[in-house]
Amino acid sequence: MERAEDRHPAEAPSGPTAPPTRPRIDAGTLWAGGIATAAVAALVAGVGTVICGAVLSIELVHVGLPGRPKGQNTLAYPTVAALVALGATGVLHLLSVFAPRPLLFFNWIIGLVGLLGAALPFVSGFSASSLATAVVNVVTVAAIAALVGSSGARALRAPRRPTGPAQRPPAGS
């Protein structure tokens, strides 16, 4: 029995009977965007931390990086934000290899991460600190979602279509 991959490219099926092909991922573009996103996310989280602490005099809920005292959220939030951005890039890269619609699944995952970031500060109760932390978390995750998502959309390339006489339009049309 002849398999489709054994056929000459000119004999390959085209149109609705053609086997589905996956989009290709430009990993360099995706990861360059992911690294840039990590920098932006760190800045967003840092600015949020400074605005809450220095301008509004509201201490954010403690992130808790190992080896850091409780009062050092100024460095902890940007560090965690950068790590989340790099993790989101890795998730999108994996989804682009294995998932049927990578950006759709990515948007759901990052949306749920944002929801978790909004809800977790309220575990210990409602306060100005938990509200400010939730706002910083949501704005940071929104920036990560927008930037990694657009980098992923740019990095996903349409699959190559087989070329050959079967796909050329008829003469005169």
Burial 39-58 (b: 16+ CB within 10 A, else e): ebbbebbbebbeebbeeeeb
pLDDT at site 120:
92
> pLDDT digit string (tens) for 40-82?
999 999 999 999 999 999 988 876 555 555 556 678 889 999 9
Q: Is the pTM of this model over 0.75?
A: yes
> pLDDT digit string (tens) for 134-153?
999 999 999 999 999 999 99
The amino acid at residue 159 is P
> pLDDT digit string (tens) for 12-36?
455 555 555 667 899 999 999 999 9
> pLDDT digit string (tens) for 103-137?
999 999 999 999 999 999 998 899 999 999 999 99
Domain-wise residue ranges, the chain: 25-157
Do you know the residue count of the chain?
Answer: 173
Strand partners of residue 25: 156
